[in-house]
Structure 1
Amino acid sequence: MTTKKLNVTTARTSFIPALCFSCFLVLNPALSLAQTKQVQDRSAGSITELPLPKVADYWVTATRQAAGATIFDGYVPDENLRTELAARSNVDTQWMRLGSGAPDNYAEALDFGLAILDRLAEGRFALRENAITVNGVASSEDDFVAVTKAVAADMPSGFVLASFEVLAPAADTYEWRAQKSADGAVILSGMVPDPALEKILLASAGPTAKAQFRFASGQPDAFSSSARTGISLLKELEEGQVSFDGKAWVLSGTASSRADKAAIERDFERQQLAASGWSLAVAAPADTPLSEPTAVNPEYAFSATKAGDDSMIFSGQVPAEPALRFFAAISGGNIDAVSISGGAPADFVMQAEAGVRALMLLDEGSLTFAQGTWSLSGTARDAPSREAVLDALDASGRQKIWKTDIALIAVPDPMQQIAVEAPTPMNNEGLAACEAPLAEFSARNAILFRSGAAQITPDSAPALDELAADLGACPATAIHVEGHTDADGDEQLNLALSVARAEAVVNALIERGVAPERLYALGYGESNPIADNTTPEGKALNRRIVVKIASEL
């Protein structure tokens, strides 16, 4: 960047006739008593040379307005400099005051700031002591790149950049894409807000990735994390792409195997990406087995242990990284001792998933695969829990290949069991008494969620406690938990979001002791509005959770 150099004189000289001494005192109140006496002792008509007042906090700003005008404020060390600035096109210097005490290289710093402003559609340059601040919006993408490089390489000597907040021009439609070809090459394209994020995304995509980005502002909320999530999912595909078209994120392509496809789908579900506006379209290779290797290693081994504090530790081998991440995601276990290795049986991932899920139902236990045999042992809290563990293995062929040894922590003596009476059916008055508080609770819309997601906000906990207490007063009823949305966005995404939110409320109620067999999660999306969807107030009313008594048990 180049600009006209400013001519700054380090000291200001004033020429004041003796007969206007009183006027000079008014104009220059910073004179010392000694200087005042020196002026008084001069004969009439003599010439006196005095410095400008010293400014302790020296600062100057230059603001570029959208219409193109530049307005200066603050201090300038020389009248000639102020005149030179005022001579520039569309510049206003009327607010600048004369004062000494400017930092060294003041002119160089001001040149630097004016060169930056010449590339901004609007913005502000500020200099205070030796600290420089720049903010605004660049006139073009080329100007944004030039300004970004300038602050990194052309800072004037003796000054520091305290703040730099210059945006690239805003995009009408914000687009982004990451593509992976069959040979593993990854190309990133579209828009990013700044070079810093460009470097982060390139590092996430791998050392051989290439970028073809344009810089633009106007990116959606959470753009950085969404782009990194997309790159992470793309790595699990044989080939494909993840893209953002200004409205929604889409992951599409072909997985390396059916096992990888299943792992990607589970990861997608675990992160609740559908509720955040994502779509998934991933296919498995035609005629591929569940696991790729054809030669089974007889020494292949895998194990997982669960302690009494619910912590889990994995060790051994798994055939693919997505499967490993999936096991860790569903259990929260430590996977540091697991390696990726070929040679697993064709049904390894399916059997391992069934075993991990069954192990999670035990109070403590161990899961092992060794010499071609799967084994699960441990302790269950009670007989129903033990049956639930065994049921988790049924679909995977427990009777043929699983060895199980599930003991009970304590087996109750049937002679000492207390008979539990079935709930007494309610009459109409009792049913109405249960329905009233639920209707009042639903009308208050007290359960809140994070924007665009199915995560209940922490401040909704008291409302959930209240709801669980209301349901506890009516134990003989089946409950429908209904999710509803406003009409903003895609209809199918709204339907999925309403279901996910209803399920989140059901899970929260189960955690508070409400029997799961009583609860049913239903989602209606935007189909049942109770207010006008064209107003903010109406939309707020339509975004709701409704709790109703469905029937008696």
Structure 2
Amino acid sequence: MKLPPNAIGAGAFAVAALLSILAAVWAAHAIESRSARAVRAALDQGGYDWAEVSVDGLQVTLTGMAPSEALRFRALTAAGTVVDGRRVLDAMDVVDPSALGLPEFTLEILRNGDGISLIGLVPSEDAHSAVVERLADLAGEGQVTDMLETSEHPEPEGWPAAVEFGLKAMESLPRSKISVTASRVAVMAITNSAAEKARIETQLQRGKPEGVQLALDISAPRPVIAPFTLRFVMDDAGARFDACSANNERARDRIVAAATKAGLAGKATCTIGLGVPSPEWERAVSMGIAAVAELGKAVITYSDADVALVADATVPQDLFDKVVGELESNLPEVFSLHAVLTPPETDQDKPEGVAEFAAVLKEDGGVELRGRVPDPLAREAVESYARSRFGAAAVYAATRLDEDLPKGWSIRVLAALEALGHLKSGQVRVRADRVIISGTTDQPDARDDVARLLSDKLGEAQKLQIDISYVPVVEAEVPVASPEDCVADITAALAEHKIDFEPGSARIAPSANPTLDAIAGYLKDCADAPIEVAGHTDSQGSDEMNLNLSKARAQSVVQALMVRRVLTGNLTAVGYGETIPIASNDTEEGREQNRRIEFRLLTVAEDGTVVPMALVPGPDTPRPLKRPEAPGAETPKTSD
């Protein structure tokens, strides 16, 4: 069937129109895709990933929540660099600044030998100035680098207490970094010794404000131990360390494990320090401890690389030879072993037949010297050393001369007196075959120090009996003033000299500085007591003006106390205006009495409100005061 010419023409036209439409749709889609990709790439490159892109033909629409008006504008500009700016439609929103919340206040203080650096955000310019002024005094000749910023937002609860605590911590740590927020204080520091580290950690834990988290990272340099000493004893009293040294935590743990396996009971302390004679210290010590355990009753002493093993007389000779042979063969090459099997005791060796020197250190610091010395020169040397070590007035000497004493007796006596100086109280006895020291000390490392000293002065093989107990010093609690006492002291100071202001102003007169200094001293002893700082005026002027002036004056007092480094978080400034006179307003003298600042403890009334306590009419009759209404409200005047 042959189609008429008109039909063929119409069909060709329809096909051409369809192809044109498809081409147009494809072209529009291609343009939209390229535009969207180009704008998306420009936004991502600028960091505006919060913006969304949609394209409708030639029109590009940006949506999303911009963090700020400036960033919204920058996103529009970035899109306009890849497409015609007239094609970009802005449909973005901007975050409401009021919904962002308060800024996070932080204070970071770095202190070293060059000075002090500050960085962070603090609530006000007054707080900023107070911190800088205080640290400038602490830095002395060092420089204070101030990079603090301020914000006039209200300070968060706990901020003043946290800052004060951080500043106090900084005062005792010359090499430290203190990070402060309202709820957390982090302390990183280096101290001079382990004892100082422990003292400061205890001090900071005790002084931490309530509600503030404390993070401590305080380190102390490892001491140099010379000689590097370890002494392990097994006798009728059991197994114990007289001295223990290790070069690292791993070596310490392995040494303690070896001692525990040998029969050591309870917790053992081992000083970690520098000066180890060999990297194989821990292996050599563990072998020696195992040898002592096998002998049953013996003492092994390591002084650097010199090792002395002294076995008790009850140890069989064959066992002694076997243990010593194995230990000598297996010790690391650098170590040298000297082993002794104590001979059986004879009648001549019994204590009653042995010459002795004794020194007794009493609780009051007095020292008694008794027993034998070889000659007058040795006596003079011993007494002179004792007087120089313990004080001339503290030494009582009653020694006698004995020419038959063993060689080296004077050296042993002087070493014993030096060891006695490590005790708080106790005694030391020197005999020909041993040195015996016993007593108490308040230094945790004294036992190690005594064993190290005697081994170094007298030799590793010297027979020692060390019975030293560590008794920590109990710090006496400083009596804390009660809140009532604080307020009573402040009231007495105000009675002696009131806080004066310039006429009609909240500016404190210079004459009030001594009174403010005294009040600041009292408040530092009761920083947790809730106290109201109340401002009062006379009746001259309008009620509203007097109310505002009295509150401004109370706030000025709180600010002045803050400058004096007082924690003011517990102080509440309130203005009462002229509503509570204490004298007649009809005379100048009465009006002068009514213009005053008062400090009162806060208490909770029966209805649950916090109110100040007034003691009227007598000191034992408390009565809550009623606070005034807001400015502008009707406040009845009183005449009492």
Q: Same fold (TM over 0.5)?
A: no
* Larger RCO of the pair (alpha carbons < 8 Å, separation 6+): 1
Question: Please, what TM-score do these two structures have when normalized by structure 2?
Answer: 0.28
Question: Please, what TM-score do these two structures have when normalized by structure 1?
Answer: 0.32
Bigger Cα Rg: 2
